[in-house]
Amino acid sequence: MFPTPAFLKTSLLAAALMLTACNANVNVRPNPTPTATPVPSPTPTPGWVTATIRPSVETNDAVLAEVQRLQTAGLATDVLVMESYPVQIRLTAAPETIAALEDLAAGVETVPTTTLSQRSSNIQTAGARTVVNSPDFAAIWRQHTSASDTPPTVDFNSQTVLAVFAGERPTGGYTARITSVKRLNKVLTVRYRVDAPAPNTPTTQILTYPAHLVTIPLSQQRGDFETVNFVME
């Protein structure tokens, strides 16, 4: 027999190694593709609503700043600012937050109140009054309390008294309450409500006359407003 040439031995060895590698690959199972874990969608807060706020040019910056504050505080989610000027902002928040933003966008100012009295009144006729000077306030206070005591100090150069009287109610437990005062331009809108006692609540069995008197830091004398509208809720 003739000896096998060296180059042929090398070729046969290489072929054998390749065959072995192929057989090994046949038995190798591919690693399974990992299954992606689905990311749960954020659960909407119960009672929250989605709305689009449309500020004016004058209120644009104030609305943007307030939305940023609400988002940072976790009081608004899904905020989408649409590129325009003034902007349009879509967001999800509590209904009262949406209402406040809409007021801000419209230029409506929420006016703070300070309670002077919420006792049962001696003014027995239902109604609402705006008091802009000291003599009128002294007269109303005297009717309200049926006393000659000095009324609370009010500076009508910078303040105004707002009063609501609910009229006659059959028992105790009824309340009158001014819930909000808002100003748009020179018009004040005063919202108030009269609440009955809760069912099964013990009450005094006498006639009562609920009332609520407050001051606001606005003065008709210096031109802060011209018209006042009272709205019963």
Is pLDDT of 4 > 60? Answer: no
- Mean pLDDT to the nearest integer, 178-184: 97
Per-residue model confidence (pLDDT) at position 85: 87
**How large a percentage of the chain has pLDDT more than 70?**
81
185-203 residue pLDDT tens: 999 999 999 999 999 999 9
Domains in the chain, please, with CATH? 49-107 (3.30.1370), 114-232 (no CATH)
Q: What is the DSSP code string of 11-76?
A: HHHHHHHHHHHHHHHHHPPPPPPPPPPPPPPPPPPTT-EEEEE---TTTHHHHHHHHHHHHHTTSE
Per-residue model confidence (pLDDT) at position 22: 53
Strands 160-165 and 175-184: unpaired
34-73 residue pLDDT tens: 554 554 545 668 999 999 999 999 999 999 999 999 999 9
108-144 residue pLDDT tens: 999 999 999 999 999 999 999 999 999 999 999 999 9
**How large a percentage of the chain has pLDDT more than 90?**
76
